[in-house]
Amino acid sequence: MNSPNSTQIYNFIEKLYPICRSITGDGVRETLKLIHEIIPITIKEITSGTEVFDWTIPKEWKIRDAFVKNSKGERIIDFQKSNLHVVNYSIPVNKKVTLKELKKHLYSIPDQPDWIPYRTSYYKEDWGFCLTHNQLQNLEDEIYEIKIDSELFDGNLTYGEFYLEGETTDEVLISTHICHPSMCNDNLSGISVATHIGKYLLGKKNHFSYRIIFIPATIGAITWLAQNENCLENIKFGIVLALLGDAGKFNYKKSRNDSAAINKIIEKVLIDSQLDYNIREFTPYGYDERQFCSPGINLPVGTLMRTPNKEFPEYHTSADNLDFVKPEYLNQSYQIIIDTINIIENNFSYINLFPKCEPQLGKRGIYNSVAGDIKEIELAMLWILNYSDGEHDLLDISKRSGLKFDIFIKAVKLLLKHNLIRKIK
């Protein structure tokens, strides 16, 4: 198995952190190149102007430098110090302005005077700078030289896709967004966890096929869906990964289709983890579940997060940095996905071949307990034998029993070995 060591997921975040990403451009390409060093992804380029459902792929954005200089020629707001200083997708600007004019294009957070906010202007041509509120308050009434050395041109939208064929063409979809510049929880935690999940899957034999997509939020998901509409029916389970590195408890947002198996599976994983968690109903706001669960697509896709978007003060600011995410929380999130995959891969239905009264397990050497002191695995065998009537799968039975799913995998192996059950689907 390709299990990451305790800091591997975090270390990959450190590597990706300095890159200035956006919904298009070289930052995304550089990010995908680094992912490709770990897992074999295919990198796709879709031309600006391509129609994707009701949307159009925008122009590609390139940024080389940006600054505001005071009258002494000092770079008092400097893109080279933090890529959050420039409003993402800003059009090029090169002029001298008064403080009053400059202030119309400045963004800060008065409640968090040391943090730089993250702002974008993807679909409206505009420009601006983000700065700490302290910086803003120290600006003097003078003439400023401003320059944003950027370019918007007919180029491409870039995304990455990892596909691993299993025994069946039925698929598990994992999706994560890759369009945020230097912020760690949103979105590097999702990128790094998804990459390491891919690495784990490469190291084992899988029943299901797996597809992991690394896409710019919204427009990337819409593009991917528009380009892959004919193979969506293979997707049986899906998870959007975001915000997986903070100290908060897990939040699973259910798929729009309430009865989707992924909802029951992740709930069971969270119960078995004995960690604190919340299950939330689907809402048409948040990450790319908005597209995957739009009514005409309606895929069985839920979203796994720790603290949800907009519910922590560091969200979309420079404080979502390398100190805000921790290896232990990232590893815990990774483990939740691994446990989810483990259920998906092992949740079959069986039929009890000795349904009239209990088969005698003792004479087969697989039941040694004295009454009142039953072992967990023996209990699991009794549950499986009783409910393997063709109506219940292993997940149903394990949920009913209150025992962990893991023990059911072991119990099934024993029962199959002794020809007491048969797999039906």
Residues contacting Zn ion: total by CB under 5 A: 1
Closest distance of CB 254 from Zn ion, Å:
21
> Judged by CB, which is closer to Zn ion: 186, or 339?
186
Residue at shortest CB range from Zn ion = 186
Closest distance of CB 241 from Zn ion, Å:
13
Closest distance of CB 23 from Zn ion, Å:
11
CA distance between the termini of the chain = 26
| Residue pointed to by tokens 């963004």 | 107
Phi, psi values for residue 142, rounded to 5°: -150, -175
> Judged by CB, which is closer to Zn ion: 121, or 346?
121
> Judged by CB, which is closer to Zn ion: 40, or 284?
284
Spatial neighbors of 193 by CB under 8 A, at least 6 apart, are: 9, 176, 241, 244, 330, 333, 334, 337
For the segment 379-398, give every residue that binds Zn ion (CB under 5 A): none
Per-residue interface string for the shown chain with Zn ion, residues 168-207, x marking contact by CB under 5 A:
------------------x---------------------
CA angle 306, 223, 90 (to 5 degrees): 75
Closest distance of CB 125 from Zn ion, Å:
21
> Judged by CB, which is closer to Zn ion: 304, or 380?
304
> Judged by CB, which is closer to Zn ion: 218, or 331?
218
Query: Does residue 84 sit in helix, strand or coil?
Result: helix
For residue 187, cis peptide bond before it (omega within 30 degrees of 0): yes
> Judged by CB, which is closer to Zn ion: 186, or 289?
186
Name 422's bridge partners. 351
For the segment 41-60, give every residue that binds Zn ion (CB under 5 A): none
DSSP string, 102-144: HHTTEE--TTSTT--B--B-SSS----EE--HHHHHT--SSEE
Helix axis angle, 394-401 to 376-387, nearest 10°: 130
> Judged by CB, which is closer to Zn ion: 119, or 399?
119
* Surface-to-core class of residue 386, CB atoms within 10 Å of its CB (0-12 exposed, 13-18 middle, 19+ buried): middle
Closest distance of CB 190 from Zn ion, Å:
10
Closest distance of CB 186 from Zn ion, Å:
4
> Judged by CB, which is closer to Zn ion: 17, or 163?
17
What is the distance between the alpha carbons of residues 370 and 404, in angstroms, rounded to a whole number?
22
Closest distance of CB 316 from Zn ion, Å:
6
Spatial neighbors of 127 by CB under 8 A, at least 6 apart, are: 87, 90, 91, 92, 93, 105, 121, 148
Closest distance of CB 9 from Zn ion, Å:
19
> Judged by CB, which is closer to Zn ion: 315, or 387?
315
Tell whether residue 246 is a contact of Zn ion (CB under 5 A). no
What is the distance between the alpha carbons of residues 222 and 230, in angstroms, rounded to a whole number?
14
Closest distance of CB 309 from Zn ion, Å:
6
Per residue in 313-345, is it b (16+ CB within 10 Å) or e — as a string?
A: ebbbbbbbbeebbebebbbbbbebbbbbbebbb
Per residue in 251-284, is it b (16+ CB within 10 Å) or e — as a string?
A: bbbbbbbeebbbbbbbbbbbebeeeebeeeebee
Task: Name the residues that contact Zn ion, by CB under 5 A.
Answer: 186
